C-alpha cells in the first residue's frame, strides 16, 4: 500500500532537467490512491500530451510508477524517482539518474479512493480515482492509447476540466459513496462509458 502522505491530488509546479531545460507551464495532475495512480500532462500548446494509469510502489524514499495503460502508448522506460517531502503539502522528486528534478504541491482533495476495472469482453482496462471534490478516469487497451479525463465536482455533477483529447468530455453524475461500495468481482457501469459493464 502507498503511504498515506502520498495519497491525494498533486500538481506539478515545475521540472528542471540536467540538460539545462525546464518547464513551468505544463499542466500536470497526479492522482494517487492507496494503490493506483492516474497522471495527465498537458502542455500549453497541447503538443506532446501524455498520461498514464496503473499501480504505484513506494520503497523507502523511492517511488515507482507501473503504468498499465498510457497515452499515446506504453513506454518500456522505468518511471521512478527519489522523493523528499519538504512538508506535508510539498514533495520534491529527483530522477534515479539525476536527469531531472520536479516540485509537486498538494491540491486540497480529501481522501482519494481508487479502483481498477476491466471490460470482460474487450479486455480494456480502466482506473477511477475519486475524492470529495476531484475525480480522474482513464481507460484503454494496454496495447494502444487510452483516454484520460480530469473532473472537478460542482454541486452534484462532475465537470470535465482537462482531457487528452480535443472533444469536450461530457458532464457526469456519480456518487462517491456508490463507488466506495463497489467490491472485487462486481459488474458496474460508470457514467463515463454508459452501457458498458466493467468488472471491478
Helix (H, G, I), strand (E, B) or coil at 5: helix
Q: What is the pLDDT along the chain (200 residues), one digit of tens a residue?
A: 999 999 999 999 999 999 999 999 999 999 999 999 999 999 999 989 999 999 999 999 999 999 999 999 998 889 999 999 999 999 999 999 999 999 999 999 989 999 999 999 888 999 999 999 999 999 999 888 899 999 999 888 899 999 998 877 888 999 899 999 999 999 999 999 988 999 99
Q: Return phi, psi of residue 176, to 5°.
A: -60, -40
- pTM to 2 decimal places: 0.96
Domains of the chain: 4-107 (2.40.128.280), 113-199 (no CATH)
Centre a 10 Å sphere on the Cβ of residue 57 and count the other Cβ atoms it contains.
Answer: 13
B/e letters for 120-131, b = 16+ CB within 10 Å, e = fewer, are: eeeebbbbbbbb
Amino acid at each position: 500500500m502507498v503511504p498515506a502522505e502520498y495519497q491525494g491530488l498533486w500538481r506539478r509546479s515545475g521540472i528542471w532537467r540536467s540538460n539545462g531545460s525546464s518547464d513551468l507551464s505544463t499542466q500536470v495532475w497526479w492522482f494517487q490512491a492507496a494503490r493506483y495512480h492516474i497522471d495527465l500532462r498537458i502542455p500549453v500548446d497541447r503538443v506532446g500530451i501524455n498520461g498514464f494509469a496503473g499501480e504505484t510502489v513506494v520503497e523507502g524514499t523511492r517511488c515507482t510508477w507501473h503504468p498499465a495503460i498510457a497515452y499515446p502508448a506504453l513506454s518500456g522506460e522505468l518511471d521512478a524517482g527519489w522523493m523528499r517531502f519538504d512538508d506535508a503539502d510539498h514533495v520534491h522528486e529527483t530522477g534515479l539518474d539525476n536527469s531531472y528534478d520536479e516540485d509537486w504541491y498538494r491540491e486540497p482533495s480529501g481522501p482519494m479512493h481508487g479502483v481498477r476495472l476491466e471490460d470482460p469482453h474487450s479486455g480494456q482496462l480502466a482506473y477511477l480515482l475519486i475524492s470529495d471534490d476531484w475525480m480522474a478516469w482513464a481507460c484503454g487497451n494496454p496495447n494502444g492509447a487510452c483516454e484520460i479525463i480530469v473532473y472537478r465536482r460542482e454541486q452534484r455533477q462532475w465537470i470535465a476540466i482537462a482531457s487528452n483529447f480535443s472533444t469536450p468530455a461530457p458532464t457526469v453524475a456519480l456518487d462517491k459513496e456508490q463507488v466506495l461500495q463497489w467490491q472485487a468481482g462486481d459488474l458496474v457501469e460508470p457514467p463515463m462509458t454508459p452501457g458498458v459493464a466493467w468488472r471491478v
